[in-house]
Amino acid sequence: MNALLKSATIVDSKSDFHNENVDILIENGTITKISKRISNPDNYPEIKLENLHVSRGWFDSSVSLGEPGFEERETISNGLKVAAQSGFSAVAMNANTNPVLDSNADIAFALAKANGSACQLKPIGALTKNSESVDLAELFDMKNAGAVAFYDYQTPIKNPNLLKIALQYASNFDGLVLSFPQESQISGKGVMNENVNSTTLGLKGNPALAEELQIARDLFLLEYTGGKLHIPTISTAKSVELISNAKAKKLDVTCSVAIHNLLFTDDKLLDFDTNYKVLPPLRTQNDVDAIIEGLKDGTIDMVTTDHNPIDVEHKNVEFDHAKYGTIGLESAFGALQTLFSTKKTIGLLTKGKARFGVEESSISVGARADISLFNPEGKITFTKEHIKSTSKNSAFLGTELKGKVYGVIANNKIEISE
């Protein structure tokens, strides 16, 4: 793959050309020249885009793609195309498929389906067989097949001894264990945050306590066992405090937050819109403020779209019966830009790679091209016309976003949205 990017502003603190407007020559998937002006004697395809900015490729640590088993929601091929056109050069795919990705053959299948995509697939294997939280899955075999972590997506590990054994076992091969932060006996049948709004709406509540108890338990187990733990999609102020204290003890723990939990509160549910039915649920403004502060001070390590396509038959129903989840790839950059500077937004979108074993590459001569392309300026109101995912269940519909994503040059491919 050869290309010449014209007049691109580099946003990459690790590059010698940070904040400079330059031309970038890419030959056979490698950056061969960066200069103020580069001629094009070989007549390579030229990429000229309005107010073009480029950064290291973005990474998302939690994406659901449906296939195998739920292709009506999304396929691996189209999901990766959407991710690439949304600026992501790598995504970690959850195991919530049918069958669940819990063996080396399942991991190999997912990787084969992703072959040839500009966005690299990093599969997450199930932590337990069929994600039933009873017996550990084939962790070591899946690691050898290409799994970057182990997680029963949005399924709490009820048995603390199971998590203890998982942490101990995975530490033998530097495996990363994920544990969903919800104590299921406390959360019960709650479908939204337990608060005045849940009482007003007559919906069963899922209290912040359910998340915080599980996190406290898991951190105690981590302190006892050692190993590597990642806590996905935290949502409460107390959760931030618990993880901050654990990091002060030098425990090997990281965490993420879903972007929709940064922008929205449970006030969004007053109209019973099932696009806002997510897990963990939307919380209070106090929680949102604490999470944003946790991102700023580094307590929270990364953001994720927690992209979860759900078909209309499972969303366009009564709130109690609707499935949890929102898509978020297409809106991620624009949503973050409404909260943070472009520099901070890019920093958040490029963090997490090392934790999930994704190769990092700066925008430098001799480096492989792993580049996200975007325009940080301009505002749009996000509508269904902006959605390229198979499923349209977005919590961001009607939300004003800032900036525009063009796509990626990565994995020796060019993927730019029309």
Enzyme catalytic residues? 306
What residue type is assigned to position 147 of the chain? Answer: A
Beta bridge partners of 4: 25, 46
Q: How far is CA 259 from CA 56, 104, 176, 262, 314, in A?
A: 20, 31, 22, 5, 22
- Vertex 122, ends 260 and 2: CA angle to 5°? 100
SS3 345: helix
The residues, any chain, with a CB within 8 Å of residue 110's CB and separated by 6 or more, are 76, 93, 101, 121, 123
- The answer to whether the Cα torsion of 163, 164, 169, 172 is positive or negative is positive
Helices (H) and strands (E) in the chain, counts: 12, 18
- Distance CA(229)–CA(149), nearest Å, equals 10
- Distance CA(410)–CA(73), nearest Å, equals 26
Could you tell me the two tokens for 39? 């001629």
One-character DSSP codes across 68-107 = TT-TTT--HHHHHHHHHHTTEEEEEEPS-SSS-S-SHHHH
- Distance CA(301)–CA(257), nearest Å, equals 8
What residue type is assigned to position 225 of the chain? Answer: T
Task: Count CB atoms within 10 A of the CB of residue 313.
Answer: 9
Q: Check if the beta carbon of residue 363 is closer than 8 Å to that of residue 34.
A: yes
